[in-house]
Amino acid sequence: MSMKRSLFAVWKRVIWGVNLLIILLGACYVSYICGQNSVAEVCVTVQEAPPPAPGLAEPVPNQEEVTFPLNLNTASAQQLEQLPGIGPKLAARIVAYRTEIGPFLDKRQIMDVEGIGEKKFAELEQLIVVEELHENFSGG
């Protein structure tokens, strides 16, 4: 029984040693990448960094604010990209369709855009709306 304990104690020390070695090598690598003068500076830098606020994600730079459901007739390409399955190329096609054909009259009309079929429409249906464009005319 004592041999098992001593073997366990040896492995425990080996594992701790390997973990310490990994941490130090990681700190040295970060020090090298970041241009820090010593491992101590890296450790201090890491310890002084404030923890991220719980539940809050980093804001994505240059990303427009989007409120769902998204109006297909007024959404920019960047706003359209925030819909699931819509990348830059598909967003550009939606905007081009709207420019060439005119405003969407029904949200199912988005399936006329190349790359959007029944399946993708089913994913988007609850996230999009089609509202008429109202122009302000002053009577005189």
Q: What is the pLDDT of residues 118-129, one digit of tens each?
A: 999 999 999 999
Q: What is the pLDDT of residue 60?
A: 53
- Tell me how many domains the chain contains: 2
pLDDT digits (tens, 9 = 90+) for 70-96: 999 999 999 999 999 999 999 999 999
Q: What's the pLDDT at 137?
A: 45
The answer to whether position 63 is within a domain reads no
pLDDT for the residue numbered 108:
97
Cβ-based burial of 57 (10 A; exposed 0-12, middle 13-18, buried ≥19): exposed
Same domain, 42 and 75: no
CB-facing half-sphere around the CA of 51: CA atoms within 13 A:
3
- Whether residues 80 and 120 fall in one domain: yes
List the domain range (segments joined by +) for residue 93.
Answer: 70-129
Whole-angstrom distance, CA of residue 114 vs CA of residue 106: 16
Round to whole Å and give the CA distance between 69 and 85: 15
* Residues lower than pLDDT 70 in the chain: 1-8, 10-11, 16-21, 24-25, 27-64, 134-140
Question: How many angstroms separate the CA atoms of 113 and 110, rounded?
Answer: 6
Asked if the structure places residue 65 within a domain, the reply is no
